[in-house]
Structure 1
Amino acid sequence: MDELMRRRVYGADQDDPDPGPQPGHVYRELVAGPLDGLLLDVTGWSEEQLGGGALLITEIGAYGPGGRADYNPRPGDQARWEWAGDVP
């Protein structure tokens, strides 16, 4: 758990003095792709929402600013979401 506490959360500003996870929140680790290693805050998401993954805005994907990275739950390891590709 200490390793997760040092990680940066998706959406946190680069200059945020505390860009890491917050107590009482639930996170998924993003694996591969442009957001590899970031944590996604899924606090309050329903089981249906969690099962559907997320399209996350990123400026560093294949489509540049405004593009999205598609991340989905990893089969057998729901704590990690795998990159499925970039979309415009």
Structure 2
Amino acid sequence: MREPTQPRIYGSDHDSADPYTTLSGREYVPLDGGPLDGQLLDVTGLTADERTAGAYLITPHSTYGPGGRASYGPTFTRPDGPWVWEGDVS
């Protein structure tokens, strides 16, 4: 199997034909650190306030086991990305 040259898109199905292809007209931010490190998050539909707040993302590898959540958000110095891991939440 070939190694992907692009990061995986967060939320893509594991059996997806190509979980590494970004879609034209969509905006993505990279996730930095934690269990989702290196993946891209589609933030196209988020408002400015939602982007500032960040998100709790479901992950198969968290402190709380499969289905736990990891908190990711922008930093003050780089509000447009990447979003950094802030820790796991239950």
* TM surpasses 0.5: yes
Residue ranges of structure 1 left out of the alignment (5+ in a row): none
- TM-score (norm. length: structure 1): 0.88
Identity, in percent, stands at: 48
Structure 1 moving runs of 4+ over 6 Å: none
Work out whether 1:79 is the aligned partner of 2:81. yes
Deviations 1:29-88 (A, max 9, x none): 000000000000011211000000000011101111221000010232222000000011
Gaps of 5+ in 2: none
Structure (1/2) with the larger strand percentage: 1
Amino acid at match of 1:11: G
TM-score norm. by structure 2 comes to: 0.86
Letter in structure 2 aligned against 1:74: T
3-state SS of the aligned residue for 1:79? coil
CA root-mean-square deviation = 1.3
SS of the equivalent of 1:82 reads: strand
Measure, in 1, the Cα distance between the counterparts of 2:24 and 2:6: 12
Q: Aligned residue pairs: how many?
A: 84
